[in-house]
């Protein structure tokens, strides 16, 4: 038994933990949980916990159902919302087959595979998400509910507002879970909030996003409110994105930084951006996985609709921030299409794969967009070579279907399942509008 496992077992005993929840996600990013007794944790470390994988969306087929959940002791945390009576803890798990091989359709394994490819090239992949969501009075849309808790706007300070209490409680709870929060504030839409998690390696960030979603839901319910990460819950208000800042490091050196370069961006950084741009249309079905996601992408309010990049241009798909030009560690790129309902494991995997391909093949970066892309005419955008992102989930599926990069990154099982699932979702919802989607989908987001 390693030191981390021993620490977990000692903490369980010392803190009187009564339930240990083993967490993992299905292919679409829904959090799954099985609770084990403290006495079973040592065995779970040694042998895993078996369950029927065919009952989990996209995990296994019925004739290969048996899988094992192996808890990662480095992710152990006491769940603060459970209180001091019969306290509970959680650990994220890696899913394997009975012969000890990683389950091909485990989203966490998909990301770990891609991170291993980056590590073989000498890179560590860091991410920093800005997670937007709406806080509502409740979720009963048919009985006068589902209204934002306030009518405030971007960065507004609302004296006595519920948002202050909510954000304070949520941030404190995240900190108690070991998740560092950089910023929290009111976003542009009424009742819309944003919480930005501090930079971390991509696997840790993905785990933190899944935890953060759970915390936000729990705190909202505790305060008699309701939180939704749905990409576009209101036709007349901004959608909820998850702008994600990305960087590659070689040891302690930021591979994106070059002193004296334009925006202090290195050739590696420029090729990474070029890779993201070249493959953005085909990865969009992963970074924006719902029918409703495309209402956000094509609904204005600074959501990107065209494959462009720029320095201080918030209408671009990719932005190169320059808040601290003298600090090499801060050099990064911001990918603005991904929404708050994405499966972070799969989304980070395809984004990293696209950027690495740009580096490996020496992609050249197109000229930056200096104008507001939304204000240009179609003729002007075509003359500048600005290609559109997919305009619907159906369009995104068709582009992903022909993508070797996505197929290789996700693996055959996840790739096939995503295609099957998204086609089914498109057929079911293509004729529906936002109110129907709210009534039908709000709880799962």
Q: Which pLDDT tens digit goes with each residue over 303-320?
A: 999 999 998 888 899 999
Q: Confidence class of residue 394 from pLDDT cuts 50, 70 and 90?
A: confident
How confident is the model at residue 425, as a pLDDT? 67
Structure confidence by residue, pLDDT tens digits, 339-392 = 999 999 999 999 999 999 999 999 999 999 988 898 899 999 999 999 999 998
How confident is the model at residue 323, as a pLDDT? 61
Which class for 400: exposed (0-12), middle (13-18), buried (19 or more C-beta within 10 A)? buried
**Rounded to an integer, what distance in angstroms lies between the CA atom of residue 442 and that of residue 445?**
6
**Rounded to an integer, what distance in angstroms lies between the CA atom of residue 401 and that of residue 47?**
37
Range with lowest mean pLDDT among 138-142, 256-260, 407-411 = 138-142
Range with lowest mean pLDDT among 186-190, 224-228, 362-366, 419-423 = 419-423
Residue that wins the pLDDT comparison between 165 and 75: 75
Most confident range (mean pLDDT) of 118-132, 135-149, 252-266 is 118-132
How confident is the model at residue 316, as a pLDDT? 93
How confident is the model at residue 443, as a pLDDT? 46
Look at residue 50 and tell me whether its pLDDT is greater than 80. Answer: yes
Mean pLDDT across the stretch 206-214? Answer: 97
Look at residue 198 and tell me whether its pLDDT is greater than 90. Answer: yes
Cβ 280 vs Cβ 358: under 8 Å: no
Please work out, in degrees rounded to the nearest 5, the angle formed at the alpha carbon of residue 243 by the alpha carbons of 246 and 371: 95
Look at residue 260 and tell me whether its pLDDT is greater than 60. Answer: yes
Mean pLDDT across the stretch 395-400? Answer: 92
Query: First and final CA of the chain: distance in angstroms?
Result: 38
Mean pLDDT across the stretch 199-219? Answer: 96
């Amino acid at each position: 038994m390693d030191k981390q496992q021993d620490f977990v077992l000692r903490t369980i005993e010392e803190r009187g933990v009564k339930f240990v929840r083993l967490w993992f996600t299905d292919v679409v990013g829904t959090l799954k949980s099985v609770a084990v007794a403290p006495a079973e944790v040592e065995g779970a470390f040694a042998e895993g916990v078996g369950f029927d994988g065919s009952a989990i969306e996209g995990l296994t087929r019925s004739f290969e159902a048996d899988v094992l959940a192996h808890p990662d002791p480095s992710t152990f945390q006491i769940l603060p919302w459970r209180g001091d009576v019969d306290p509970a803890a959680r650990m994220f798990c890696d899913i394997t087959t009975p012969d000890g091989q990683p389950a091909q359709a485990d989203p966490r394994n998909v990301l770990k595979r891609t991170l291993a490819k980056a590590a073989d090239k000498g890179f560590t992949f860091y991410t920093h998400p800005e997670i937007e969501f709406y806080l509502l009075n409740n979720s009963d849309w048919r009985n006068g509910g589902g209204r934002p808790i306030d009518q405030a706007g971007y960065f507004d300070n609302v004296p006595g507002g519920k948002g202050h209490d909510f954000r304070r409680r949520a941030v404190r709870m995240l900190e108690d879970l070991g998740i560092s929060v950089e910023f929290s504030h009111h976003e542009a839409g009424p009742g819309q909030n944003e919480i930005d998690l501090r930079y971390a390696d991509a696997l840790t960030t993905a785990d933190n996003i899944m935890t953060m979603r759970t915390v936000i839901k729990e705190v909202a319910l505790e305060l008699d409110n309701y939180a939704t990460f749905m990409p576009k819950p209101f036709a007349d208000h901004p959608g909820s994105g998850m702008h994600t800042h990305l960087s590659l490091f070689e040891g302690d050196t930021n591979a994106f930084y070059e002193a004296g370069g334009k925006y202090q961006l290195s050739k590696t950084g420029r090729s990474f951006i070029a890779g993201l741009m070249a493959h953005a249309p085909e990865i969009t079905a992963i970074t924006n996985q719902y029918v409703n996601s495309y209402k956000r992408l094509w609904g204005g309010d600074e959501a990107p609709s065209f494959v462009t990049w720029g320095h201080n241009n918030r209408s671009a798909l990719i932005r190169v921030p320059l808040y601290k030009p003298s600090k090499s560690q801060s050099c990064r790129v911001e990918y603005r299409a991904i929404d708050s309902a994405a499966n972070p494991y799969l989304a980070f995997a395809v984004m990293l794969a696209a950027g690495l391909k740009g580096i490996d093949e020496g992609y050249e970066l197109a000229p930056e967009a200096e104008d507001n892309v939304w204000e240009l005419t179609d003729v002007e955008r075509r003359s500048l070579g600005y290609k559109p992102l997919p305009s619907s989930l159906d369009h995104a599926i068709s582009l992903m279907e022909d993508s070797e990069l996505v197929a290789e990154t996700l693996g055959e099982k996840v790739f096939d399942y995503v295609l099957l699932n998204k086609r089914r979702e498109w057929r079911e919802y293509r004729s529906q509008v936002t109110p129907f989607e709210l009534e039908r989908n709000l709880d799962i987001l």
